[in-house]
Amino acid sequence: MNLLETRDIILAKKVCDHCLGRQFRNKFREYSNDQVGAAIRKAKAEKDMEKGLKKKLKPKLLKTCVLCGGIFAELDKYEKLLKKEYKKHDFQTYLVGCKIDKKLIEREEKLWEEIGMEFVEPIKREINRTFGLMVWEWTKKNAEFSFPDVIFTIDFKRARIETKMNPFYLYARYRKLVRGIPQTKWPCRECQGRGCPKCGGSGKQYKETVEELIAEKVLEETGGKSSSFHGEGREDIDARMLGKGRPFVLEIFGPRKRELDLEKLEKRINQFAKGKVEVSDLRPSSRKEVQAIKSVMHEKTYDVLIECKGISQEDLKNLEEYFHDRLISQKTPTRVLHRRADKIRKRKIASVECKLVKGGFKAIIKTQAGTYIKELVSGDNGRTEPSFSSVAKKPCMVKELDVIEISE
């Protein structure tokens, strides 16, 4: 079927120049669809078509076009709506989509059965491209198809713009300087987060968390609705996180602002959480980095104060030698069995360095991520084998625990 035969089939259906030209998009890509449509409408032969493309023909827009339902006759209306909407939001990347009547898509697909699909461009693709280019011209910001900051959806059935703001991500490291603060929010055990006299109506098991101490100022700066904390592992509530700190990504939902003075924000967080939590290395992050943070298994080093009566220097030397490059077997600790599956984990202990102190000893333990240190020391009634207790043949118990290094 030649171009003129195809043209006559399409024109018989009363279409606008946008919809006429769209059926030949992949044949004349260097021109806009309405230009192509206007030239095809006027052309009587192939040479006339070429002449028409070189002229600036006024496109024919129909409110009654059977393929677009008059959408392209109302471009100005939706352009104004989109321009008003995009100015409300702070973003670096965007995507434009649309919602149209399914009947329009069905009509176009039925047309393709008659004329073929060799050169066509679907109506939704033209709409998205047209309005996407408008946003680029206004902002000079780039479209992003996988995970943009914002998605503008033009709803032609309801004559409105729907906006979805994707989360904003910040990477940093935190140091926890005091004991007794969990990493993330815990619902009250009594009321499961509903609020009760035991938790003072807060719904929380603990008054403060690392997440909340960091997130409060970030939420203020971004205007976000809520947050989610993604840490590279977690330390026990009664353990400190020292050294250079633990990597994490903070996810902010519904942010109104993304362009932040991160140096100023870092200072605000550290002032607000002074003496409890410190953050450093604050920078923009991504959803991809959240996945990386969750999956990485970096080696960790602990500084542990251990209570052990009657321990000798010779015992400590034996511990150091025995646990050098030693594989241990750990069943899920008794203390967390109520919330974790009971299974066996194999973990590698890289090294142990011990020093006698009053009432016991101190140990610097370098080990694979995911090792339960308290149980490595105590043995947890045989659930961890071997343990410091089993090798020293004396009961050992962790009194204080600090994470002092997370390898990079």
- Is there a catalytic annotation at residue 76? no
305/399 Cα distance (integer angstroms): 5
Q: Kind and range of the H or E element at 384?
A: strand 384-385
Which of 48, 155, 236, 238 is an active site residue?
236
| Whole-number Cα distances in Å, 309 to 169, 315, 395 | 48, 12, 8
Question: 300-406 has which CATH code?
Answer: 3.30.70.3190
The Cα 81–Cα 152 span in angstroms is 11
pLDDT of residue 204: 75
Rounded-to-integer distance, Cα 348 and Cα 355, Å:
22
Bridge partners for 253 per DSSP: 226
Q: Give the phi and the psi of residue 274 in degrees, each rounded to 5.
A: -50, 130
For the chain, where do the domains classified as CATH 3.30.70.3190 start and end? 300-406
d(CA 326, CA 367): 9
168-295: CATH architecture: 2-Layer Sandwich (3.30)
pLDDT tens-digit profile, the chain (408 residues): 677 778 788 888 889 999 999 999 998 888 899 988 888 887 765 566 666 676 777 777 788 899 999 999 999 999 999 999 999 999 999 999 999 999 999 999 999 998 888 899 999 999 999 999 999 999 999 999 999 999 999 999 999 999 999 999 999 999 999 999 999 887 777 787 778 887 777 777 778 999 999 999 999 999 999 999 999 999 999 999 999 999 999 999 999 999 999 999 999 999 999 999 999 999 999 999 999 998 888 999 999 999 999 999 999 999 999 999 999 999 999 998 887 888 999 999 999 999 999 999 999 999 999 999 999 999 999 999 999 999 999 999 999 999 999 987
Predicted pLDDT at 63:
84
pLDDT of residue 47: 63
Q: In degrees rounded to 5, what are phi and psi of residue 287?
A: -60, -35
DSSP codes joined into one string, 65-114: -TTTTTGGGGHHHHHHHHHHHHTT---SEEEEEEE--HHHHHHHHHHHHH
Give the residue among 377, 292, 368, 300 at the shortest CA–CA distance from 333.
Answer: 377
pTM over 0.75: yes
- In 3D space, the residue among 14, 102, 98, 99 whose CA is nearest the CA of residue 62 turns out to be 14
pLDDT for position 317 = 97
Q: Encode 130-169 in three state secondary structure.
A: HHHHHHHHHHCCEECCCCCCEEEEEECCCCEEEEEECCEE
All CATH 3.30.70.2510 domain ranges in the chain, comma separated: 168-295
